Chains A and B, each alone.
Chain A
Amino acid sequence: MEEEIRLMKGNEAVAHAAIRYGVDGYFGYPITPQSEILETLEAERPWETTGMVVLQAESEVAAINMVYGGASMGKAVMTSSSSPGISLKQEGISYIAAGELPALIVNCMRGGPGLGTIQPSQSDYFQATKGGGHGDYHLIVLAPATVQEMADFVGLGLDLAFKYRNPVMMLADGVVGQMMEKVVLPPMRPRRTDEEIAEQCPWAVTGNPEGRKPNVLTTLELDSAKMEKNNERFQETYRLIEANEVRYKEFYTDDCDYLMVAFGSVARICQKAMEDAREQGVKVGLIRPVTLWPFPYDAIREAARNAKGVLCVELNAGQMIEDVRLAVGLDIPVKHYGRMGGIVLDPQEILDGFYKEFPEAKKI
């Protein structure tokens, strides 16, 4: 398969990208607003072309444990869901992190808590970046803002997952999952052979071929001293990821008097609000964290250095703002503007919210 330009939904792009990036197995369960990922894969029948396994599991719990099983074998495996389903997957995600296993988990967020709404939200930021499951662990969290990034982050996510032997979450929202845009689908990357897996993943549980000792994938260690060592090894990995993998985009941060910080689809709406403000003579800049963990603390601190105020715009009650405050410190006011319950922002209300929090900006 060659590179191809198509018009499609973000969710469909994830499915096509999964086939083209050589994913070995996808295990899913229907939930709005991400069901197109499973539907598209079933319609594409990749098991007839690349040999990719696609399975609709009996629950999100089963699906994530299938991912755990596949990842234990060194296979490139993924699952996807939306907020309530992601809550159910947290047990498995913790095990995948503890097993130091590569896997990709896509969360196409909807509003919560509880069954909530099927409309878009960003209210799983805490869950994705601060843990979610039990124990001291981190996911690498990628936040796509475009349909293109939903496709690209399948490849990037799997590469990072294997590089660090750590699960990666693509934290999308119902807006990017559902909207249609032009997307450049990558050329076909073949699935890895058994020989390649054995070479790249000597730890993988592949059935103990002759010539090596049995591999055992376990997350249990009853000896506390050994368990602490395991934890220290995990933490070393996290420090390495923090040092190497921070990603963000910045706009007009060189001369900004005010800084906006937003991720995912909201960052694109903020871009328009920022441009409108600049037309009105107010120097607003914007930073869009692409990795929510590791978080771009330094970039935000640097961009806000000469700012009079920072506005954190999110589709939630204020979650990323805690990290923005950690980045900026106490000397510069950091304010939140957001909507909840599935309401999507428009540029004008962001601008209104901005002027309400920073009325002096209008007088410049």
Chain B
Amino acid sequence: MTLDEIKKAENIVAAKPRLLNDSTMHYCPGCSHGVVHRLVAEVIEEMGLEHNCIGVAPVGCAVFAYNYIDIDWIEAAHGRAPAVATAAKRLNPARMVFTYQGDGDLAAIGTAEALHACNRGENIVIIFINNGIYGMTGGQMAPTTLLGMKTATCPYGRRADLNGYPLAISPLIAQLDGSCYVTRQAVHTAAAVKKAKKAIRHAFENSMAGRGTSLVEIVGTCNSGWKMTPAQANEWMAEHMLEKYPLGDIKDTTKE
């Protein structure tokens, strides 16, 4: 097949979504954010929402999400994205509004905002990246850090008696009457990426149909923070993170 033939529409099996621009990402090679950004951009594009969509960026590595996905964005204060999104959606109910938050942002400082937005059943989507560590600030302990896992603020490994237990957010959110869809996904294999995209699409559809809050947790890697190669990080994640944070739908009221 010649290059020109490859470029023909019928032969293309994968293309960069138009909404994902050409800016060089600041994410470390091997980081899960790049893949998840792409999935979000694909879903927005495929659903025809690019001119009807507001993203709310967190504080953390994904604060610069607005540099890569060409839609309207509001950058929230640390942990406050669900409150910002609540107002954005209520004041403009026709818009697709989603937050994109890490585990420090959502599971520590922003727990109250996340929980109450979900409990009110705000018609928003929360994309929650759980990599068990604070990436942006240099690898400190997160609420989701596993027991025994070493970080800059638990250099000898997380201990329950000193630091408490890893916090599983999604099952908590699933208990709330306002949430309609809570799922935990990953992007460490091609199959997982496909499933994750399907979940994100389902969440966005729920939001536009006014079904309540959807939360898509993506268990991700932070190979820099974990001090591993990208390949090692994927393996370590599958072995350890997924034991505490198993993948799959936790709640889906649309199927009940």
- A contact residues vs B (CB 8 Å cutoff): 24-25, 27, 53, 55, 57-59, 61-63, 65-70, 72-73, 75, 77, 91-92, 95, 205-210, 214-220
Which residues of B have CB within 8 Å of A55? Answer: 86-87, 90
**Contact between chains at B74 and A77 (CB < 8 Å):** no
Taken residue by residue from 198 to 209, chain B's Cβ proximity to chain A (1 for < 8 Å, 0 otherwise) reads as 000000000000
B51: A residues at CB distance < 8 A: 207-210
Residues of A within 8 Å of B116, CB to CB, are: 57-58, 62
Q: How close is A260's CB to chain B, nearest CB, in angstroms?
A: 41
Instruction: Give the CA-CA distance A57 to B54 in the complex, in Å.
Output: 21
Measured between C-beta atoms, what is the minimum distance from B65 to chain A in Å? 10
| Interchain CB contact under 8 A, B76 and A68 | yes
Question: Known: A62-B112, A207-B52, A207-B53. Is A91-B77 also a contact (CB below 8 A)?
Answer: yes
Q: Could you tell me if A24 and B95 are in contact, using CB atoms closer than 8 angstroms? A: no
Per-position 1/0 for B111-134, Cβ under 8 A of A: 011001000000000000000000
A214 surroundings in chain B (CB, below 8 A): 66, 70-73
Distance, CA A59 to CA B112, complexed state (A): 9
Number of B residues near A (Cβ < 8 Å) is 32
Contact B91 A217 (CB under 8 A): no
A214 to B54, CA, bound (A): 10
- Are A65 and B113 touching (Cβ within 8 A)? yes
B88 at the interface (CB under 8 A from A): yes
Instruction: Please name the 9 residue pairs, one residue from A and one from B, whose CB atoms are nearest each other, closest first.
Output: A69-B84, A69-B87, A66-B87, A65-B83, A65-B80, A58-B116, A218-B75, A62-B83, A208-B72
* Highest count of chain B CB atoms <10 Å: which of A27, A72, A75: A72
A59 proximity list for chain B (CB < 8 A) = 112
Are B72 and A61 interface neighbours, CB within 8 A? no
Question: Which residues of B are found within 8 Å of A77, using beta-carbon distances?
Answer: 87, 91
Check B88 against A73 for contact (C-beta < 8 Å). yes
Encoded as 1 (CB less than 8 Å from any A CB) or 0, chain B from 37 to 77 comes to: 00000000000001111101100000100100011111111
In the bound complex, residues from chain B placing their C-beta under 8 Å from that of A218 are: 57, 66, 73, 75
Residues in B neighbouring A92, C-beta threshold 8 A: 77, 80
> Chain B residues with Cβ under 8 A from A25's Cβ?
87, 90-91
Chain B residue with Cβ nearest A61: B80
Given the complex of chains A and B, what is the CA–CA distance between A67 and B112 in angstroms? Answer: 17
Q: Within 8 Å of chain A (Cβ to Cβ): is B92?
A: yes
Asked if residues B86 and A66 are in contact (CB atoms below 8 Å), the reply is yes
B52 near A73 (CB under 8 angstroms)? no
Q: Majority SS of interface residues in chain B?
A: mixed
Pull 5 A–B residue pairs with CB atoms less than 8 Å apart, ordered by A: A25-B90, A65-B77, A206-B92, A208-B52, A217-B74
B88 touches A58 (CB 8 A): no
Report yes or no: B86 in contact with A69, Cβ–Cβ below 8 A. Answer: yes
Which residues 83-114 in B have Cβ within 8 Å of A in the complex?
A: 83-88, 90-92, 95-96, 112-113
Give the distance in Å from the alpha carbon of A311 to the alpha carbon of B122 in the complex.
Answer: 53
Write the nearest CB–CB distance from A200 to chain B, whole angstroms.
16
Shortest beta-carbon distance from B137 to chain A in Å: 14
**B 223-235 binary contact with A (CB < 8 Å = 1; else 0):** 0000000000000
Say whether B54 contacts A205, CB under 8 Å.
yes
Kindly list chain B residues whose C-beta atoms are within 8 Å of the C-beta of A67.
87
Q: Which of B56, B63, B87, B113 makes the CB contact (< 8 A) with A58?
A: B113
Interface residue from B50, B53, B88, B96 paired with A70 (Cβ < 8 Å):
B88
CA–CA, A209 and B53, complex, Å: 9
Q: How far is the CB of A54 from chain B (nearest CB, A)?
A: 10
Closest residue of chain B to A76 (Cβ to Cβ) is B91
A24: B residues at CB distance < 8 A = 91
Check A205–B74 contact: CB distance below 8 A. Answer: yes
Nearest residue (CB) in A for B56 is A69
Q: Once the chains are docked, how many angstroms separate the CA of A219 from the CA of B80?
A: 14
Which residues from chain A contact B71 at a C-beta distance below 8 Å? 207-208, 214
Whether the Cβ atoms of B50 and A57 lie closer than 8 Å is: no
| B residues less than 8 Å from A209 (CB atoms) | 51
Q: Kindly state the separation between the CA atoms of A91 and B87 in the bound complex, as whole angstroms.
A: 17
Select from chain B the residue with minimum beta-carbon distance to A92: B77
Say yes or no: A72 contacts B74, CB within 8 Å: yes
- Report yes or no: A53 in contact with B54, Cβ–Cβ below 8 A: no
B113:A69 contact, CB within 8 angstroms: no
Q: How far apart sit A357 and B88, CA to CA, in the bound complex (Å)?
A: 54
Chain A residues near B77: list those with CB within 8 A. Answer: 65, 68, 91-92, 95
User: Beyond the given A207-B51, A217-B75, could you list 16 further A-B residue pairs with CB under 8 A, ordered by the A residue number?
Assistant: A25-B90, A25-B91, A55-B87, A58-B112, A58-B116, A65-B80, A65-B113, A68-B87, A69-B87, A70-B87, A73-B54, A73-B87, A92-B77, A206-B72, A208-B50, A208-B51
Name the contact of B72 in the complex, choosing from A63, A65, A205 (C-beta under 8 A): A205
In this complex, the member of B56, B85, B86, B116 whose beta carbon has the largest number of chain A beta carbons within 10 angstroms is B86
